[in-house]
């Protein structure tokens, strides 16, 4: 009997707690609730040798695709379409995630095989020209070629950066190498409004003239990040065109502010890491459109 009373007491206490929590939340905006999006991942790692011979050059393709499988706020088919298009391009946006991964992998391998075939044909033509013109060795000049083709590799992945308050921000990272001494890595940023069911753009969140107004903030952030005081010093480090730098639409929204990523070659040398600039909402509140998703994030307490 004592045990029964104890259980009843704890049950009443739990119900009272739930009631208080419910009352405390009743005045809060639904905008503050966490997103109910469930994700899955498809991972592929494939190496393919020319002519199937392990003694030959090869291409490596690695894909790690995080994609939504359910969502309470946005139709999951719409959300998956957006993820597939953002990750692989418009040529694949009619495919389901698994099919898009396989199609992208096959296309990468096919392109590598085609490049290798084209290269072999060029080398053969060079040798034939050398045989026809013995006193002019093209293979020992600026047109020099080797009989062995290069190996390629590509890594393609995405990551969820922010998934709250009706906002889903994610980044696609792509690294590749086509036989050169260095690899190239690029970042593509995307923001999706789960409440409205579409991609968030700069024009939607900013008032007119925002690009010029943001310029000084971006420059100031780059100066601070690199521990210098002048644009000339930035240029000495490998940056260029900083006086003309403007927002590039490659942004993410997070709780604390907006993040811009400038890929290598935009305003910096390829030897440098891609600059990433965080601009707090409090610094640009006057630039934000009223009732935009960014304004709601900025006004959260």
Q: Are residues 59 and 189 in the same domain?
A: yes
Does pLDDT of 301 surpass 70? no
| pLDDT, position 120 | 82
Split into its structural domains, the chain has a count of 3
pLDDT in tens, 69-121: 999 889 999 999 999 999 999 999 999 999 999 999 999 999 999 999 998 88
- CA torsion sign for 120, 124, 130, 133 is negative
**Residue matched to tokens 């403007």:** 246
Bridge-partner residues for 160, per DSSP? 170
CATH of the domain at 77: 3.30.565.40
Distance separating alpha carbons of residues 230 and 234, to the nearest angstrom: 7
Domain boundary among 199, 216, 247: 199
Average pLDDT estimate for 186-210: 96
Is 109 found in the same domain as 175?
Answer: yes
**Domain range holding 26?**
2-31
Confidence of residue 127 (pLDDT cuts 50, 70, 90): confident
Q: Judge whether 262 and 252 are in contact, CB under 8 Å.
A: no
Q: Are residues 165 and 207 in the same domain?
A: no
Q: Which long-range contacts (CB under 8 A, 24 or more apart) does 195-204 make?
A: 195/31, 195/73, 195/74, 195/166, 195/293, 197/74, 197/75, 197/78, 199/82, 200/167, 200/253, 200/293, 200/294, 201/249, 202/247, 202/249, 202/251, 204/289, 204/292, 204/293
Same domain, 152 and 271: no
In this structure, are 174 and 41 located in the same domain?
yes
pLDDT classification of 181: cutoffs 50, 70, 90: confident
Model pLDDT for residues 245-266, shown as the tens digit of each residue: 999 999 999 999 999 999 999 9
Angle between helices 97-132 and 76-88 (to 10 degrees): 20
- Of 199, 214, 229, the last residue of a domain is 199
Residue 9 has pLDDT above 60, yes or no: no
Together in a domain, 152 and 238: no
Phi, psi of 93, rounded to the nearest 5 degrees? -80, 5
Q: pTM of whole model > 0.85?
A: no
Q: Are residues 117 and 82 part of one domain?
A: yes
Per-residue pLDDT at 132? 73
Q: Are residue 69 and residue 177 in the same domain, yes or no? A: yes
Distances (CA, A) of 240 to 232, 237, 251, 266, 275: 9, 9, 20, 8, 12
| Percent of the chain scoring above 90 in pLDDT | 73
Structure confidence at residue 183 as a pLDDT band (50, 70, 90): confident
Do 157 and 242 have their domain in common? no
Eight-state DSSP code of residue 275 = P
Q: Are 287 and 210 in contact (CB under 8 A)?
A: yes
Q: Quick one: 73 and 144 in the same domain?
A: yes
Residues 155 and 241 in one domain: no
């Amino acid at each position: 009997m004592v045990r029964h009373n104890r259980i009843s007491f704890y049950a009443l206490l739990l119900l009272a707690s739930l009631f208080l929590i419910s009352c405390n939340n009743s005045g809060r905006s639904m905008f503050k609730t966490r997103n109910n999006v469930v994700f899955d991942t498809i991972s592929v790692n494939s190496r393919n040798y020319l002519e199937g011979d392990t003694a030959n050059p090869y291409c490596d393709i690695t894909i790690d695709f995080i994609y939504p499988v359910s969502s309470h706020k946005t139709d999951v088919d719409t959300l998956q379409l957006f993820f597939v298009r953002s990750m692989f391009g418009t040529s694949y946006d009619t495919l389901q995630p698994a099919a898009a991964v396989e199609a992208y992998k096959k296309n990468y391998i096919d392109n590598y095989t085609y490049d290798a075939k084209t290269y072999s044909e060029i080398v053969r033509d060079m040798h034939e020209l050398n045989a026809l013109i013995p006193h002019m060795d093209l293979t020992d000049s600026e047109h020099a070629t080797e009989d062995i083709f290069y190996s390629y590799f590509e890594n393609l992945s995405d990551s969820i950066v922010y998934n709250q308050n009706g906002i889903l921000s994610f980044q696609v990272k792509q690294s590749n190498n086509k036989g050169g001494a260095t690899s190239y890595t690029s970042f593509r940023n995307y923001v999706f409004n789960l409440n409205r069911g579409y991609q968030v753009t700069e024009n939607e969140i900013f008032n007119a003239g925002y690009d010029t107004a943001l310029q000084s903030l971006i420059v100031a952030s780059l100066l601070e990040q690199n521990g210098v005081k002048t644009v000339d010093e930035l240029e000495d480090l490998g940056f260029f065109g900083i006086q003309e730098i403007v927002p590039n639409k490659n942004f993410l929204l997070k709780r604390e502010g907006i993040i811009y990523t400038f890929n290598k070659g935009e305003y910096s040398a390829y030897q440098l890491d891609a600059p990433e600039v965080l601009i707090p909402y409090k610094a640009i509140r006057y630039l934000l459109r009223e009732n935009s998703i960014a304004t709601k994030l900025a006004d959260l307490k």
